[in-house]
């Protein structure tokens, strides 16, 4: 793999599993120093040790990004310990599917708090550092990649509040892109279809038994497929902004 991110620093939220873990490994493979943010400390430490074992430079940050102060502190700690911030992958998210009328509203709070508010907190705290990186960094460009979903493009019964959070991510991404792109801070969104990760394991069993049966019949994406898309975005030359990538399993219809 080429070391095209050598000298840069990346922060990946939700780095403990799935897409975040695969992305952290991919960016480290491209030569970036990587800060890993998530809640389960034991898993963070294990991933950090694995990346270090492959020659990467890494920082494990135990952080619940739904807490605004903690989200800000995760960004600041990345800059303090690794020296700068060139790339942010706003990936932490939760998908608690189910029909709206009988939903436990606590599930909605969890999705809005993480998928929307956590992502906003990290983005806002990171922006001054990304601007600096675009001015004086080795690549003279910086990246914020927000992980949305196919659910951010197309609403469906049973996914209403998850849809609402991911539509919010897409809208925020496009508005922020217009505000800062001229300064070479690129703002992008990645919209995966079904990926084989821990994400669906948090969905209530009765919802899984009814709504999600069809998805297990298709060959889902691997987390590495989405990490590839993210790595593609952040390794482009500074003149190229890949604003949006939608990646579905080839068998996924909607
Ligand atoms: N899998 C799919 O089919 C799919 C499709 C479209 C979009 N996506 C999106 O992809 C993103 C990653 O999901 P995934 O599929 O990789 O799921 P995952 O394996 O469940 O990963 C979620 C990650 O987020 C972390 N996390 C959860 N709550 C957090 C919090 N409050 N603060 C910080 N980190 C937190 C988790 O670690 P801890 O529990 O240790 O904190 C975990 O590392 C999400 O935004 C999801 O909506 C996934």
Give residue-wise pLDDT tens across range 62-115: 999 999 999 999 999 999 999 999 999 999 999 999 999 999 999 999 999 999
- Confidence bin at 2 (pLDDT 50/70/90): confident
Distance (Å, whole) CA 164 – CA 159:
8
Is the pLDDT reported for residue 216 higher than 80?
Answer: no
Mean pLDDT to the nearest integer, 33-53: 98
Let me know if 162 is a catalytic residue: yes
Is the pLDDT reported for residue 38 higher than 70?
Answer: yes
Mean pLDDT to the nearest integer, 21-43: 98
pLDDT at residue 214, as a whole number: 65
Task: Give the pocket of ligand 1 (CB within 6 Å).
Answer: 13-20, 37-40, 43, 63-66, 91-95, 114, 147, 149, 192, 194-195, 197-199, 223
- Confidence bin at 211 (pLDDT 50/70/90): confident
Q: Which of 162, 177, 231, 233 is catalytic?
A: 162
Question: What percentage of the chain carries pLDDT values higher than 90?
Answer: 94
Is the pLDDT reported for residue 7 higher than 90?
Answer: yes
Distance (Å, whole) CA 240 – CA 181:
11
pLDDT at residue 210, as a whole number: 86
Helix (H, G, I), strand (E, B) or coil at 19: helix
Chain segment 225-243, per-residue pLDDT in tens: 999 999 999 999 999 999 9
Residue 52 CA to ligand 1 center (angstroms) comes to 22
Residue 213 CA to ligand 1 center (angstroms) comes to 21
CA distances to 83, 87, 179 from 8, rounded to whole Å, are 9, 8, 23
Q: Which atom of ligand 1 is nearest to the CA of 65?
A: 32
Residue 91 CA to ligand 1 center (angstroms) comes to 6
Atom 23 in ligand 1: residue holding the nearest Cα? 14
């Amino acid at each position: 793999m080429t070391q095209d991110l050598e000298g840069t620093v990346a922060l990946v939220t939700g780095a403990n599993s799935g897409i975040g873990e695969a992305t952290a490994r991919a960016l480290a493979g491209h030569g970036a120093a990587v800060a890993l943010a998530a809640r389960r400390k034991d898993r963070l430490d294990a991933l950090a040790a694995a990346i270090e074992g492959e020659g990467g430079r890494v920082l494990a940050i135990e952080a619940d990004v739904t807490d605004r102060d903690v989200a800000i502190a995760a960004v600041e700690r990345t800059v303090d310990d690794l020296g700068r911030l060139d790339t942010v992958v706003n990936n932490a998210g939760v998908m608690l599917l189910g029909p709206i009328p009988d939903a436990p509203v606590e599930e909605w709070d969890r999705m809005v708090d993480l998928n929307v508010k956590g992502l906003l907190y990290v983005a806002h705290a990171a922006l001054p550092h990304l601007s600096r990186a675009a001015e004086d960094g080795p690549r003279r460009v910086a990246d914020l990649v927000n992980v949305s979903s196919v659910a951010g493009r197309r609403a469906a019964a049973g996914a209403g509040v998850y849809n609402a959070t991911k539509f919010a991510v897409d809208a925020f991404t496009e508005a922020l892109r217009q505000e800062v792109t001229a300064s070479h801070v690129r703002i992008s969104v990645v919209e995966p279809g079904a990926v084989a990760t821990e994400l669906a394991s948090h969905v209530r069993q009765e919802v899984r038994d009814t709504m999600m049966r069809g998805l297990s019949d298709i060959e889902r994406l691997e987390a590495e497929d989405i990490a590839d898309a993210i790595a593609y975005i952040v390794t482009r030359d500074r003149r190229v902004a890949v604003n949006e990538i939608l990646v579905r399993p080839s068998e996924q219809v909607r």
